[in-house]
Amino acid sequence: MGVPFIKMHGLGNDFVVLDARSHVVPTMTQPLAAALADRKTGIGCDQLILLETSAIADLKMRIFNADGGEVEACGNATRAVGLLEGAPARIETLAGVLASTPVDGGIAVDMGEPRFGWDAIPLAYAMDTLSMPVGWEDFESPAAINVGNPHVVFFVGDCDTVDLARIGPLIEHDPLFPDRVNVNIAEVTSRNGIRLRVWERGVGETRACGTGACASAIAAMRRGLVDRKVTVSLQGGDLTISWSAENRITMTGPAVESFRGTFDPADYGASA
């Protein structure tokens, strides 16, 4: 019997969702996750999402990037899981427990508190994370922030002119970032608007990145470039990011179910 999956996306950042709470699924390994994510020989996705039972929340969400590596958080996937739940839900992740709530216009997610300490990003050594004294070619003085996973944010005049396919992996794999890093190229357009492109570690450039939108918005707010609530425009669409006086980040945006299907684990060298 095939293993059921649900194909979903948040602003074009797409996922294959496996629900181990209601179906038997194969033990997830890095090779299996990468094989399922492959767009030519697998189902195809930016991230594979595995749902499990949780002892501390309504459910547990595990996240595997396209290269098969397991990561801490994914904002767009959290909205997708919130859509599947159809009601307010507390979702356990490696980054902590996130809360999703259905609202007009999609799903709102409490992404928790941002972390700014160099060792919380993490970086290889201590430095100012609001304006890092480092650079790669013409890309200098980024902000670093952890919003469940590590990000660096560069502010530029025109994000469309950046060769992200070239500079993204160079920064992602720099030894300064022991856990690698997500690379954000942000263009501030107004006090409440940001345009953004994101190179996701282990994936590449994606049409949208929820944690990247959070990281870039918070970095811009810390620098006084924007107000405490902004619209972040990505290739796949818009997200609303707000940062409360209580130091909580809220991300609001849509999620969509594309289709459902099944796969045979044996086709990928696995067994259910």
DSSP codes joined into one string, 188-224: EEETTEEEEEEEETTTEEES--HHHHHHHHHHHHHTT
The domains of the chain are located at 3-100+255-268, 114-247
Q: Domain 114-247 maps to which CATH number in 3.40.470.10, 3.40.50.300, 3.40.50.620, 3.10.310.10?
A: 3.10.310.10
159 is catalytic: no
**CATH architecture, domain 3-100+255-268:** Roll (3.10)
Element at 87 (helix H, strand E): none
**How far is C-alpha 37 from the geometric centre of its chain's CA atoms?**
16
Fold: same for 3-100+255-268 and 114-247: yes
CB atoms within 10 A of CB 133: 8
pLDDT tens for the chain, 272 residues long, are 699 999 999 999 999 999 999 999 999 999 999 999 999 999 999 999 999 999 999 999 999 999 999 999 999 999 999 999 999 999 999 999 999 999 998 999 999 999 999 999 999 999 999 999 999 999 999 999 999 999 999 999 999 999 999 999 999 999 999 999 999 999 999 999 999 999 999 999 999 999 999 999 999 999 999 999 999 999 999 999 999 999 999 999 999 999 999 999 999 887 76
28: DSSP letter: P
Catalytic residue, chosen from 45, 74, 159, 214, is 74
Catalytic residue, chosen from 45, 159, 209, 214, is 209
0.75 surpassed by pTM: yes
74 is catalytic: yes
Task: Judge whether 213 and 236 are in contact, CB under 8 Å.
Answer: no
